[in-house]
Amino acid sequence: MAFQLQPLPYAFNALEPHIDARTMEIHHDKHHAAYTTNLNNAIAGTEWESKTIEEILANISKITPAVRNNGGGFYNHNLFWEVMAPNAGGTPSGDLAAAIDRDLGGFDKFKEMFSAAAATRFGSGWAWLIVTADKKLAVTSTPNQDNTLMDIADVKGTPILGLDVWEHAYYLNYQNRRPDYIGAFYNVINWDVVAAKFASAM
Ligand code: MN3
């Protein structure tokens, strides 16, 4: 069963003015679509064809660079669309908020760490909020389409929030102003979805 590109769960313009419609359309319909097609092509006829994406990522050191790049791209963008929503933003509540206080020193400190992870990732990559193996929250970043489920990751864990800092994610609207894009992202984070991912990772 080949991996499928799921439709975007909201309209291309739903995240405006924070993320523009044209960027969302190209990002989903061209970039994410290409990662999906290229992942399917790269695993066709191999033992990995019958595995879940999580199983593939956990064994990525044994597989080809094409699967690392496109499998990461497939997974990362699925998460990215899911953790955003129109009329979202604000702050987390409940157990997730308590864990942010306990493990990261509070929401303001989280924002500072996450923004720094996103801003200082040189070139292309992702910033992450993850749940580590010892059930703690951590903020980290990865290059290219790597993620923290990969066995080659420096810091491993289950991603519950991710921010794409490739130029294709923001350049049409923000050009070289990556920090402005990072700041705008907080207006579209769907904390209910992030909290559900946190609960299942715990
Ligand atoms: Mn992208």
Q: Are strands 137-143 and 158-164 parallel, antiparallel or unpaired?
A: unpaired
pLDDT tens-digit map of 47-64: 999 999 999 999 999 999
CA of 43 to the centre of ligand 1 (A): 21
Is residue 73 a contact partner of residue 32, using CB atoms and an 8 Å limit? yes
pLDDT tens-digit map of 19-40: 999 999 999 999 999 999 999 9
The pLDDT assigned to 194 comes to 98
Is residue 44 a contact partner of residue 67, using CB atoms and an 8 Å limit? no
CA of 98 to the centre of ligand 1 (A): 30
pTM for this prediction: 0.97
pLDDT tens-digit map of 81-129: 999 999 899 999 999 999 999 999 999 999 999 999 999 999 999 999 9
Is residue 157 a contact partner of residue 148, using CB atoms and an 8 Å limit? yes
Q: Residue 73: exposed, middle, or buried by beta-carbon count in 10 A (0-12, 13-18, 19+)? A: buried
CA of 102 to the centre of ligand 1 (A): 31
CA of 131 to the centre of ligand 1 (A): 22
pLDDT-based confidence at 1, cuts 50/70/90? low
CA of 94 to the centre of ligand 1 (A): 30
Helix H or strand E encompassing 54: helix 53-58
CA of 23 to the centre of ligand 1 (A): 10
pLDDT tens-digit map of 128-186: 999 999 999 999 999 999 999 999 999 999 999 999 999 999 999 999 999 999 999 99
CA of 201 to the centre of ligand 1 (A): 24
First to last CA, the chain: 29
CA of 68 to the centre of ligand 1 (A): 15
The pLDDT assigned to 32 comes to 98
| Radius of gyration for the chain, computed over Cα atoms and rounded to the nearest angstrom | 16
Is residue 103 a contact partner of residue 130, using CB atoms and an 8 Å limit? no
The answer to whether residue 16 scores a pLDDT higher than 80 is yes
Residue 8 one-letter amino acid: L
The pLDDT assigned to 164 comes to 98
The pLDDT assigned to 67 comes to 98
The pLDDT assigned to 145 comes to 98
DSSP 124-154: SEEEEEEE-TTS-EEEEEEETT--TTSTT-S
